[in-house]
Amino acid sequence: MTEQRALLEVNELVKHYAVRGGILRRQVGTVHAVDGVSFSLGAGETLGLVGESGCGKSTVARTVLRLVEPTSGAIKLDGEDIAPLSKTALRPYRRSMQIVFQDPFASLNPRMTAGDIVGEPLTVHGLAAGKKKQERVAELFQQVGLRADQMKNFPHQFSGGQRQRICIARALSLGPRLIVCDEPVSALDVSIQAQVINLLIDLQRKQNFSYLFIAHDLAVVAHISHRVAVMYLGRIVEIADKHALFANPRHPYTQALLASVPIANPKAKRLAPMIDGDVPSPINPPSGCAFHTRCRFAIDRCKTERPALKETGPGHQVACWLNDGTGRNE
Amino acid sequence: MATINFDAELRRAGANATSGWGRFTFLAQRHVLGTVGLIIMLLFVLTAVFADLICRYDPLSVDSAHRLAAPSTLHWFGTDSFGRDVWSRIIHGARISLAVGIGSTALGASLGVIVGLASGYLSGWVDLVFQRVTDILQSLPLLVLALVMTAALGPSLPNVILAIAIPLIPTVARVIRANTLALREQPFVEAAKSIGMSEMRIALRHVLPNTIAPLIVLATAQLGSTILTEASLSFLGLGIPEPYPSWGRMLSESAAEYVRVAPWLVIFPGIAISLAVFGTNLFGDALRDILDPRQRG
Amino acid sequence: MSEALATETVLDVKNLQTVFFTNSGLFRAVDDVSFSVRRGETLAIVGESGCGKSVSALSIMRLVPDPPGRIVGGSVMLEGTDLLMLDDATMRDIRGNRISMIFQEPMTSLNPVMRIGDQIIEAVRLHQKVSNKEAWKQAVDMLRLVRIPEPERRAQEYPHQLSGGMRQRAMIAMALACRPALLIADEPTTALDVTIQAQILALIVDLQKRLGTGLILITHDLGVVAQTAQRVIVMYAGKKVEEATVEALFETPLHPYTRGLMASIPAVPSPDAKADVRLVEIPGMVPSLTKLPPGCAFAPRCKLAVDRCRQAYPPLEEARPNHWAACWRAGETVEAS
């Protein structure tokens, strides 16, 4: 996949929010939601984006789709930078990138039928109307494992898993090349999660689009992704092929994250938390490496200088001073 | 341990509430007062529609031979100082009350929706201006505002409707704006944006339909107060002009002079006003509980 | 822990039945469920949304909202007393004192306008006759016990000043303040990040061992179960479908639903795993409790289902020593494994 030109290339993406306070609503601080994130995504590839709440993974997702305006940085879709485009100029690009949200209950308009929801993008972009539209919607329903006769039902008549299927059908309707999945299965029951993950994998195999897959559940991300990026406080701290990442995590945060996942095997008991404390506030993130406040390997340099992502193996990049070739935390 | 009769509980829980009618009877049993309100409102509407059939005399015809006649089989509610039949005038008064009530509520609600939607959806300076204007409007009492307006416009049916509708706008706009602000953050609106929909389409297709339930609740609740305002305006002589029968004017004509000699002139229009307002309020409360439980309280 | 303590039963629930009346009909949220918890033991109740695990907990606490819910049968013996027979005042004395509960969302379970210390004091003074000063000291001690740094200062703070993990620690401190015999934790870490989850789970397990509290852990996460519980019950559509020790359950799950659940969770990959392999999925969806099929509720989703499964609900039987399952074909799966 690396030999092809990347479908999506994100360069030094930054999103800062102003924190206002007082009577005069003056800016009293800045939330560093996304603080210089770069990655690329090939066609037919899935990049997983993991991290804990507040690490900025959802902001990255929304900024890539320009649902949130980036503060700076480039978002190249097929080589074209869409970050500076006006809303009107952006519209044709919307067809190429779609999103599936976490909450399948809130992401469907309760006053519209499932068929109308899935068909609406076709109307908006003038792609199909009348009978042709109905046929296309029926086809989309069938693709995501729903029956065509369910088109006239309203969202509340569907279960959580089925609603997520409707969301996926809506995303597919425009024939996108990139689908951003923002925690698409975390609101679903365990037995339904597997159905939706399988559906996403099957669809990708057939239609070869790319996923930017955001989740806090490492196992889910690991399952669906080809490559995984780990985020901490607005920055990517490690990015690698998923096998390399899970077999040989190099950043202390990735190691802690992996060690914290409870394994569904009572013989592998290991309830010893790897890191203490909480994620610091993104309003005034720690200097240097943002993780140094919780890192057991931190050295003086970590407190003052911010480590950049560096290649430590083929396609394996880590932002840690201890991993700049010295391999000291092995 | 208490045991229960499953079949009875099942029925109580609305097991038969699947069809439209079954659902209606189920809700009606749960909200008895609301059903009473609905019946009063239906009677009110039917009276207004079939006023010509129900009334026994021409409400405008003067009969100087029977001035201030007490209620009898001939004149159920008696006659007023011109000898006009009070029953017939109350029946026809329902028409005026209903026309003003529905007319001004509909007008006020539509304008309020436009203001609220624009204010909530566009935000920025539009919102700021609309907000300050509604603040000013809301700081004036509904009645005083309507009084000033009718005094300026002159008493006539359309003017009364307009005068009562305008003070309604801020109340409706507030609710719609709050709803719009909440809806704007909903993922389905974000999804609509990611599809590439225009802001106008999002506002009209995705935001507006989801504010209908609170709007209906609010409008029903306001219906009673518009009827009351019309009565008050007419009572003060600024409402519906003579000789048309308006409940408020009927009260004002008779209250001062004849209340001692002909109390029916005060009692029956008074009951009519109270009943209409009471009915709409009961129904409005039940509707709020059913459609929008969050607004309860 | 001495042998006598370890075998002492704290809670014994027998044939618990809780029903709900809703707009769409009546359903049995908890249908004939029995289980027991011993001192210092962790019992996990696993299942998906609507399986009745949370309602079971609320039934034990007698906190089922009535209407629409009602406990209609069974007994809940806590240290020899049937809680279902108690009057409301006596029950209030027991809540927070002999049984405590911690919930999923630590922000909404704490009063936002009360200092953390005061909230713990309130819990303590409700059940113990101690001076305010003494209670404050206890509160600070509890915060220290749950490893909140600078407990003296934190006791003075309000919930919004604490992080999610800290709040859940404060909730645990409050729940354990009166040294209850039984602690019920309803999805205590679901709202938390994994690294914080690991901290909180380690804390709960450690405190429970030290204090000898019986623990009911309600969760949908089999990983959490495997790492914390000694015994597990699996619930599906209001019924208990399987019960076993944690080792036996993960070694040889007997009920097809349990097997399905275990197969459907993606595991953190081993180095040799292939990319994008399909997961084993359980077809269909969790049935609506108001429209349960006759026979086994899982039959419509079960690959092993035979006619008998669709006609009669299977009894809960001890298919192996100390391992119960409600499945007509559990015996065959034992032989097959």
Q: Closest CB to A99: pick one of B191, B197, B201.
A: B191
Residue B295: the pLDDT is 46
CB pairs A-B closer than 8 Å: 61
Q: Do A94 and B209 touch (CB under 8 A)?
A: no
> How crowded is residue A111: how many other Cβ atoms within 10 Å of its Cβ?
16
pLDDT at C29 over 60: yes
A156 touches chain C (CB under 8 A): no
C156 and C127 inside one domain:
yes
Buried b (16+ CB within 10 A) or exposed e, B94-123: bbbbbbbbbbbbbbbbebbbebbbbbbbee
CA distance B145 to chain A (A): 32
Buried b (16+ CB within 10 A) or exposed e, B39-74: ebbeebeebbeebeeebebebeeeeeebebbebeee
Distance CA B142, CA B167 (A): 6
Contacts of B14 in chain C (CB under 8 A): 22-25
CATH of the domain at C8: 3.40.50.300
Instruction: Please list the ranges in chain B whose pLDDT falls under 50.
Output: 1-4, 6, 9-10, 15, 295-297
Q: What is the pLDDT of residues C252-294, one digit of tens each?
A: 899 999 998 888 888 766 555 555 567 888 888 888 787 788 8
Q: Do B9 and C26 touch (CB under 8 A)?
A: yes
C141 and C287 inside one domain:
no
By three-state DSSP, how is residue B223 classified?
helix
Residue C286 lies in a domain: yes
For C253, the domain range is 242-266+280-336
- Domain A8-96+176-323 = CATH 3.40.50.300: yes
Residue B12: the pLDDT is 52
Q: What is the pLDDT of residues C211-225, one digit of tens each?
A: 889 999 999 999 899
Among A271, A275, A295, the residue to mutate for chain C (most C Cβ within 10 A): A271
Instruction: For B12, name the nearest residue in chain C, comparing CA atoms only.
Output: C21
What does the block give as tokens for B14? 């609305």
Residues 6+ apart with CB under 8 A from A137: A115, A118, A119, A122, A151, A169, A173
Q: Which amino acid is at B291?
A: L
Residue C235: the pLDDT is 94
Residue C222 lies in a domain: yes
C65 and C186 inside one domain:
yes
C203 and C74 inside one domain:
yes
Residue C137 lies in a domain: yes
Residue A74: the pLDDT is 93
Contacts of A205 in chain C (CB under 8 A): 276
A159 touches chain C (CB under 8 A): yes
Distance CA A169, CA B181 (A): 27
Residue B297: the pLDDT is 38
Q: Do B187 and A120 touch (CB under 8 A)?
A: no
Residue A327: the pLDDT is 46
C61 and C206 inside one domain:
yes
Domains in chain C, number: 2
Residue A136: the pLDDT is 94
Across residues C226-251, what is the average pLDDT?
93
Proportion of chain B above pLDDT 90, given as a percent: 14
Q: Closest CB to B188: pick one of A91, A95, A108.
A: A108
C72 touches chain B (CB under 8 A): yes
C222 and C252 inside one domain:
no
Distance CA A50, CA C65 (A): 38
C7 and C87 inside one domain:
yes
Residue C272: the pLDDT is 53
Judging by beta carbons within 10 Å of its beta carbon (0-12, 13-18, 19+), is residue A208 exposed, middle or buried? exposed
Q: Do A103 and B197 touch (CB under 8 A)?
A: no
Q: How confident is the model at residue C337 (pLDDT cuts 50, 70, 90)?
A: very low
C135 and C217 inside one domain:
yes
Distance CA C238, CA C72 (A): 14
C49 and C20 inside one domain:
yes
State ipTM: 0.82
C14 touches chain B (CB under 8 A): no
Domains and CATH numbers, chain B: 32-55+81-295 (1.10.3720.10)
C27 and C172 inside one domain:
yes
C311 neighbors C295 (Cβ within 8 angstroms): yes
Among B5, B7, B10, the residue to mutate for chain C (most C Cβ within 10 A): B10
